[in-house]
Amino acid sequence: MTLRHGMHVAASLAAAAFIGGTAAVGASASTTPSPSPSPTPAPITLSQLKQLCNAEVQRRLGTLGSDMQFVQQSGSLTSSDRSNLEGQIGADESGLTGLDQTIQNDTTLKQAREDCAKIVTNFRVYVLEDPKIHEVIAADGVSAVDQSFENLIPQLEQLIDASSQSQMVKEQEIDKLNDLRSKVSASETSISGVSASVINLQPSGYPGNKVVLQSAAQNIETSRDDLKGARDDVTDILQLLGS
């Protein structure tokens, strides 16, 4: 049983009872016999709901724990982004743990349902927090690769200038070098501001801020495509230099 099912099971049972009642009324006015209604399952108990909610909290804590390891082990994150994400993950872990304790102390189904709903609405782990963490890491990684290409371009230029190859080959190398510059510049343009746009998105802003995540994902993909082209240019230049 999922958390959503657990939280709404009472309403579902009420709807099922209502539907069963209307079916019985319809049968009395019709010559077509209706099948016997299925037995109504027992409503969820407070203890069962607490167990379901605890399981959902633990599942999210597991995801956040993995995210924390990913953040701490990433070699591409800037120090400020790493610190920011670590703080956010830690706050989410603390908040979820405290919310779980509140739920376990609830004395009524109504209060438990309301508190369980906060597992989703107050944290948005799967639709916001986890995606944005991975987007920040990816965006910082792209920016680091962009800088690596920026450092490589003048070195390639020097190699081309110093080579003793024919003018025709040098022109091919220069064309590839210009294309390399263009692709790196395009990648830098696409990735600019992506980390900053998503890193401080808040659960309270969801689903309105979902479009920001989608835009960031698209920019990351576009930048990566440009970098694939830049890598191919470097390969071509090195092959021409070695010819």
Is there a single domain that holds both residue 134 and residue 116?
Answer: no
Q: Is the pLDDT of residue 2 over 50?
A: no
pLDDT score of 144: 97
CA distance 45 to 78: 48
Average confidence (pLDDT) over 4-18: 32
Between 224 and 10, the higher pLDDT residue: 224
Final residue of a domain: which of 82, 105, 123? 123
Is there a single domain that holds both residue 90 and residue 183?
Answer: no
CA distance 62 to 38: 38
Is there a single domain that holds both residue 88 and residue 150?
Answer: no
Between 80 and 38, the higher pLDDT residue: 80
Is there a single domain that holds both residue 7 and residue 115?
Answer: yes
Is there a single domain that holds both residue 107 and residue 151?
Answer: no
Residue 32 pLDDT class (50, 70, 90 cuts)? very low
Work out the percent of the chain whose per-residue pLDDT is above 90: 82
Final residue of a domain: which of 72, 90, 123? 123
Final residue of a domain: which of 123, 156, 173? 123
Is there a single domain that holds both residue 113 and residue 194?
Answer: no
The domain tally of the chain equals 2
Q: Which domain holds residue 41?
A: 3-123
Is there a single domain that holds both residue 108 and residue 173?
Answer: no
Is there a single domain that holds both residue 25 and residue 131?
Answer: no
Is there a single domain that holds both residue 93 and residue 23?
Answer: yes
Is there a single domain that holds both residue 26 and residue 93?
Answer: yes
Per-residue model confidence as pLDDT tens digits over 86-123: 999 999 999 999 999 999 999 999 999 999 999 999 99
pLDDT score of 243: 67
CA pseudo-torsion sign 101, 104, 107, 112: positive
Per-residue model confidence as pLDDT tens digits over 120-159: 999 999 999 999 999 999 999 999 999 999 999 999 999 9
pLDDT score of 52: 98
